[in-house]
Amino acid sequence: MKIVTVVLALMALTSLAPAQDLGGLEEVTAGNFFGLGARQMAMGGAGIASSLDGAALYYNPAALVRVHRIEFQIGLTHQKFSNETTQPGDRYNGYTSTINGGDISQTKTRFGTLNLTLPVPTYRGSLVVAFGVNRIMSFDRVALFHARDDSVGNIIDDNARDFETGGIYLYSAGAGIDISPNLSVGLALQVYSGTDDFKYDYTHRDDAFSLLTTTRNQVSEDYFGASAKAGILARPNSNVAVGLTVETPLDWQVKYAYDQQFDSANLTYEDAYQIEYDVQRPFIFGLGAAYRLGTFTVTGDAEYIDWSQLSYNDNPDMEALNDSLAMVYRDVVNLRAGAEYQIPSAGLSLRAGLFSSPLPYNKAYIKDDRSGYTLGFGWLVERILMLEGAYVHGSLHRVYTGPNGVTAEAHDTYKTFYFTLSYRY
């Protein structure tokens, strides 16, 4: 999220320009996993070893072998995103701060999932092919920065509103096959495509000098890339499953367009330009395990990504920033765990989970890493129809450090609902 740009613009005129700041090094796709599959998201986002439906195409294509009937899956998401900001008060001598923060929220309902899973008749074992379109990343965010200082009726007021929207869709085709009674392998070919649209409106008002300054920035980024994901699923006995996945590096092709309009009492100008460059995302490794005892299942995933290997390519000006990227970003381990309890007589499954999904930036930019909890259900409406829902509550707390240790903070909270309907023939 380009929230940093807003902080830069706001603090530049309030003597709080950040010293420790991501600035233009913030890559919106890094560490951005919106999630898919109501069953998996209800269990903390874990699915490498426990997936039983078409969403296995993403989580672990080897787990597709567990789908024994033709399945058509469709899903929607609904998210409420809230942002709260706080900034230091009393910015100017002789002035008293009356406002030094802001809060804002938005809701978005989006298409999330469309998967088709097709078992292929075999002499023994299982062979399943699948195709899917899933909204895998979300850029829907808002932020409000507001600082006001008063000195005997002379007001200095800074107000910035940040709006960002868009997302990345994942187009996948893959298959899973049993190579022995207890071992399966799978492969998915993946194409990522989407757009990030960002804009902010900023005003600076100083009554003592009768000054009003307004700025509007708009950024649009088109993303396109492709990768492959391979998986293994081992089932040593009827109670235990272990999965392993690896996704190849992804070369994002990015088309970046920037437009700025600035207006004040003495100066008006507009600046616009476009550039193209590549961003290379590193390997992603995943490990998952699931244990089932009767109607009770527990599952957990660990995913490792070394974001310090993120790099720019095919643009000399962007490539000059690669050393800075390595210093700003870090490696992370995403942890996801959940449980499911089935009530066969009611055709009902109850689910819950926890997750920790650290931000990819160094600790200097983070106060509280991203984490949260999940809840959900599955309801077998009829033998051929399954309705599933999940609720995900997550939060993170960013910090921006300026001169003399003065900091501004942004606290994001999101509440997301996932609904999936599966028809099995």
Structural domains in the chain plus CATH codes:
3-424 (2.40.160.60)
> Exposure of 327 by Cβ count < 10 A (0-12 exposed, 13-18 middle, 19+ buried)?
exposed
Is the pLDDT higher at 75 or at 406?
75
Q: What distance in Å separates the CA atoms of residue 354 and residue 42, rounded to the nearest whole number?
A: 9
Q: State how far Cα 64 lies from the chain centre.
A: 24
Q: Is the pLDDT of residue 204 over 80?
A: yes
Q: Are strands 211-234 and 96-120 parallel, antiparallel or unpaired?
A: unpaired
SS3 138: strand
Tell me the backbone φ, ψ of residue 410, rounded to 5 degrees: -130, 125
CB atoms closer than 10 angstroms to residue 343: 10
Q: Which helix (H) or strand (E) holds 26?
A: none
Whether 230 and 213 have beta carbons less than 8 Å apart is answered as no
Question: Is the Cβ–Cβ distance between 303 and 285 less than 8 Å?
Answer: yes
Q: What's the pLDDT score for residue 402?
A: 58
According to the model, what pLDDT value does residue 297 have? Answer: 98
Do 64 and 130 touch, CB atoms closer than 8 A? yes
Q: What is the pLDDT of residues 84-127, one digit of tens each?
A: 998 887 778 889 999 988 999 999 999 999 999 999 999 888 99
Percent of the chain beyond pLDDT 90?
77
Tens of pLDDT, residues 208-250:
888 899 999 999 999 999 999 999 999 999 999 999 999 999 9
What CA–CA distance (Å, rounded) separates 273 from 69? Answer: 52
DSSP 235-272: -SSSSEEEEEEEE--EEEEEEEEEEEEEE-SS-EEEEE
Rounded Cα distance, 187 and 168, in Å: 21
Closest by Cα among 189, 310, 208 to 252: 310
Spatial neighbors of 112 by CB under 8 A, at least 6 apart, are 36, 75, 76, 77, 134, 135, 418, 420
Token readout for 162 is 């940040």
What does pTM read for this prediction? 0.91
